[in-house]
């Protein structure tokens, strides 16, 4: 049987450099303005994952460290999402949406025994779910705030008709949550047909068992869909309630 494990070493380093170059060159040719950001993101990913690899053994063997690491991931996701939505401090309420999406998913997979109650299992699944909730929060928040600004006349008209501010805002931004869920919905619908996502590939490369890989991927995809749905809905509610406000400029 052919060895399916990824070759780590100079081959991986060379591939990462090549892929980063492709992304940067494509961005430069397409004038997206993200060439430097692509390189910076790739470098940060290497540094951060190297650091995580160095401490992960310590983290997963101690529950207090596991909890602290999950909270650190949540804090980093909150700051990232907040910056994507607004420069105001109210953007930090993104953490509420991310936590609201993440908590029930982790509770469900742990309570059902789908993943064992161990640090080595909790840390990766928490990272995946927090990341998905972060993306949905950023997308929903940006979309909702943009709609509220672009369609302010409709908002004012709704207020003139007697609607409360929250209800008037909901009328204008109600589809922001739906738009934020399009990537998750498309990924879930087309898994196995268009893409073989990370969890499937990771388990497949690690164990060589397609059944285990498929089970892990299904768990991840449905968990992400649940987390992102809750996170996007909470975000839209926070914007509608004027808890998260758009930057002045």
For residue range 75-99, list pLDDT tens digits in order.
999 999 999 999 888 899 999 999 9
* CA-closest candidate to residue 247, choices 94, 138, 89, 86: 86
Instruction: Report how far residue 43's alpha carbon sits from residue 36's, in angstroms, rounded to the nearest whole number.
Output: 11
195, β-bridge pairs: 191
Instruction: Report how far residue 50's alpha carbon sits from residue 233's, in angstroms, rounded to the nearest whole number.
Output: 34
pLDDT value, residue 5? 47
Domain segments of the chain: what residues?
Answer: 7-55, 61-240
pLDDT value, residue 206? 59
pLDDT value, residue 159? 87
For residue range 27-39, list pLDDT tens digits in order.
999 888 889 999 9
pLDDT value, residue 2? 43
Q: In the chain, what's the furthest Cα-to-Cα distance?
A: 71
> Tokens 């470098």 sit at which residue?
43
Note the pTM of the prediction, 2 decimals.
0.78
């Amino acid at each position: 049987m052919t060895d399916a494990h990824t070759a780590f070493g100079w081959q991986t380093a060379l591939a990462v450099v090549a892929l980063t170059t492709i992304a940067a060159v494509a961005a430069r040719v397409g004038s997206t303005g993200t060439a430097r950001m692509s390189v910076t993101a790739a470098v940060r990913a290497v540094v951060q994952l190297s650091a995580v690899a160095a401490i992960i053994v310590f983290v997963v063997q101690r529950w207090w460290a596991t909890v602290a690491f999950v909270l650190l991931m949540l804090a980093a996701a909150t700051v990232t999402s907040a910056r994507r939505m607004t420069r105001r401090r109210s953007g930090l309420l993104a953490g509420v949406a991310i936590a609201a999406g993440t908590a029930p998913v982790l509770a469900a997979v742990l309570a059902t025994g789908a993943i064992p109650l161990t640090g080595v299992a909790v840390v990766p699944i928490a990272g995946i779910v927090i990341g998905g909730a972060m993306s949905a929060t950023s997308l929903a928040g940006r979309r909702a705030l943009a709609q509220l600004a672009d369609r302010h006349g409709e908002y004012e008209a709704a207020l003139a008709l007697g609607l409360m501010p929250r209800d008037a805002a909901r009328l204008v931004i109600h589809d922001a949550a739906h738009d934020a869920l399009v990537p998750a919905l498309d990924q879930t619908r087309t898994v196995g047909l268009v893409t073989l996502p990370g969890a499937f590939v990771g388990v497949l490369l690690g164990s060589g068992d397609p059944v285990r890989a498929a089970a892990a991927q299904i768990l991840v995809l449905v968990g992400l869909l649940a987390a992102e749905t809750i996170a996007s809905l909470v975000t839209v509610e926070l914007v509608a309630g004027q808890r998260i406000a758009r930057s002045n400029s």
